[in-house]
Amino acid sequence: MKKKTNFKLHFPSHLSFLLLISFFIGFCSCEQKQHSISSHGGLTEQEVLYIKQRQLLYYRDEFGDRGEKVTVDPSLVFENPRLRNAYIALQAWKQAILSDPSNYTGDWVGSEVCNYTGVFCAPAPDNKKIRTVAGIDLNHGDIAGYLPEELGLLTDLALFHINTNRFCGTVPHKFINLKILFELDLSNNRFAGKFPEVILRLPKLKFLDLRFNEFEGTVPKELFDKDLDAIFINHNRFRFNIPDNFGNSPVSVIVLANNNFHGCVPSSLGNMTGLEEIILMHNGLRSCLPEEIGLLKNLTVFDVSFNELLGPLPDSIGGMVSLEQLNVAHNRLSGNIPASICQLPNLQNFTFAYNYFTGEPPVCLGLQDFDDRRNCLPDRPLQRNAVQCKSFLSKPVDCGSFRLIGVSYASPPPPPFY
Ligand SMILES: *[C@@H]1O[C@H](CO)[C@@H](O)[C@H](O)[C@H]1NC(C)=O
Ligand SMILES: *[C@@H]1O[C@H](CO)[C@@H](O)[C@H](O)[C@H]1NC(C)=O
Ligand SMILES: *[C@@H]1O[C@H](CO)[C@@H](O)[C@H](O)[C@H]1NC(C)=O
Ligand SMILES: *[C@@H]1O[C@H](CO)[C@@H](O)[C@H](O)[C@H]1NC(C)=O
Ligand SMILES: *[C@@H]1O[C@H](CO)[C@@H](O)[C@H](O)[C@H]1NC(C)=O
C-alpha cells in the first residue's frame, strides 16, 4: 500500500471534519420514483400531463430546478433568512433522495436545520452574530438520488462531502453560488456526463475529489490553472491529451489514474515544485520522461506505471531527494537504470518490472523493496527472453519526436510502436 498522504490543507478554523476517503463501490442504479399509472391500458389526459411534468422535472436542463417545489410552512420560525434558504435547499434535496438506507435524512424535518444529521453550522464568515450552514457531510450514506439546483442556496458552504453514496446525474449549475466552497468531495458515486465546468468557477476551492464516478469526455485545461491543493479525478472515463499547462497547477497531490489520458508526460511538470504525490498509472501516456521531473524536490510518490512510456529513465531523477515510492513498471522503458536513483536517501520502493531495461547498478539490489522482473537485465532472474529483448531494442527511440504530440488536442495518435 502507498503511504498515506498528508494533505496540507488549511481547514476553516471552525470546522474540523475528518476527510473520509473510501474506495468502497456500491451497486445500484439511479432509480427514478415510480408513480402509479391506471391499469386500463390507455392513459388519461391527466396522466399524460402528469408524466410530461415529471419528465420536465427530471430532464429540464441544468439551469432549471429538477426537484419538486419546496413550500415553506408559514408557521416555521427560522433563526435567520440564511437558515430559511438552507431549509429550502435541504428539503429539495430530501425530495431528490430515492433511497436512504441508514435514514440519515430521517431527521431533516422542521426549521432547526443545524440539527439535521450531516449538516454543520458555524458563524457566518461575514457576520459572526448569525449561524449558517458551513458544511455537509453525508459520507458513506449509501444514499441514492440526485443533487437539486436548490443546493445553490447554501451560499456559505465551505465543505461538501458526499463520498460513497449512490448519487447520480450531474453537478447542479447553481453550485456557481457556492463562493466560499473549499472542499468538494463527490467521490465514489454515480455521477456522469461531462466534467462539471461549474467547479472551475468556484474561487475558493482547494480540494477537488471526483474519483470513482462515471464522468467522461475531456478535462478542461483551465483545471490546471486553478489554485487547487489536491485533484483526484482517477477512475472515471475521462479522455484527453495532458495539456502543456499541466505544470501550472500548484497542487501538492494529483491523481489521474485509471482514465484514458494520452499524450506526453509534459516537461512543464518540472514547474510543479510543491508537488508531493503524482499518480498517472493506467492511462495511455506515450512519451519519454522529461528531464525536468528532476526538479520535483518535494515529490514523495511518483507513479507512471501501466502506460506506454519510452526511452531511458532520466539521470535527473537522482535529484528528486524526497522520493519514497517510484513506480515505472509496465511501460516500454529501456537503457541503464541510473545509479543515482537507487542512491536516493528516502527511496523505499522502486518498481520497474515489465520494461526493457538493460543495465541495473549493484546499488539497486540493496534497496528495501524493488521489482526488476521482466526486463532485459543480464544475470537477473525472471527476465524477458532474448528474442523479445533483441526485437524491441533494435528499434531506436527518438524522444524528441514525442515532445509535440501533447500540444495539439486534434493530432491523431502516433502509429503503434511495434
Ligand atoms: C428515520 O428517522 C426518523 C427521525 O429520526 C424516525 O422518525 C423514523 O422512524 C426513522 N425511519 C426509519 C425507517 O428508521
Ligand atoms: C437542536 O440542538 C440544540 C443544541 O443541541 C438543542 O438545544 C435544541 O433543542 C435542538 N432542537 C431540536 C428541535 O431538536
Ligand atoms: C515554467 O514556468 C515558467 C514561468 O511561468 C515558464 O516560463 C516556463 O516555460 C515553464 N516551464 C515549462 C517547462 O513549462
Ligand atoms: C517543499 O517542502 C519543504 C519542507 O516541507 C517546504 O518548506 C517547501 O515550502 C516546499 N516547497 C514548495 C515549493 O512547496
Ligand atoms: C512496492 O510498490 C509496488 C507497486 O506500487 C507494490 O505492488 C508493492 O506492494 C510495494 N511494496 C511494498 C513493500 O510496499
Q: Which domains does the chain have, with CATH numbers?
A: 14-25+43-326+339-348 (3.80.10.10)
Q: In terms of C-beta distances under 8 Å and separation of at least 24 residues, what long-range contacts does 78-83 make, across chains too?
A: 78/111, 79/111, 79/130, 79/131, 80/130, 80/131, 80/132, 82/124, 82/130, 82/132, 82/133, 82/155, 82/156, 83/111, 83/113, 83/114, 83/121, 83/131, 83/132, 83/133
Nearest CA to ligand 5 atom 13: 369
* CA 182 – ligand 3 centroid, Å: 27
* CA 86 – ligand 3 centroid, Å: 44
Q: What is the pLDDT along the chain (418 residues), one digit of tens a residue?
A: 333 344 333 333 333 333 332 223 222 333 333 333 334 445 566 655 555 554 444 434 443 444 457 888 889 999 999 999 999 999 999 999 999 999 999 999 999 999 999 999 999 999 999 999 999 999 999 999 999 999 999 999 999 999 999 999 999 999 999 999 999 999 999 999 999 999 999 999 999 999 999 999 999 999 999 999 999 999 999 988 888 899 999 999 999 988 888 888 888 999 999 999 999 989 888 888 999 999 999 999 999 999 999 999 999 999 999 999 999 999 999 999 999 999 999 999 999 999 999 989 999 988 889 999 999 989 889 988 888 888 888 888 877 766 544 333 333 444 433 3
* CA 119 – ligand 1 centroid, Å: 17
CB of residue 107 inside a 6 A radius of ligand 2: no
pTM: 0.80
Q: Which ligand is nearest to the CA of 104?
A: 1
Q: Which three cell numbers stand for residue 147?
A: 443533487
Nearest CA to ligand 5 atom 14: 1
Check: CB of residue 289 under 8 Å from CB of residue 331.
no
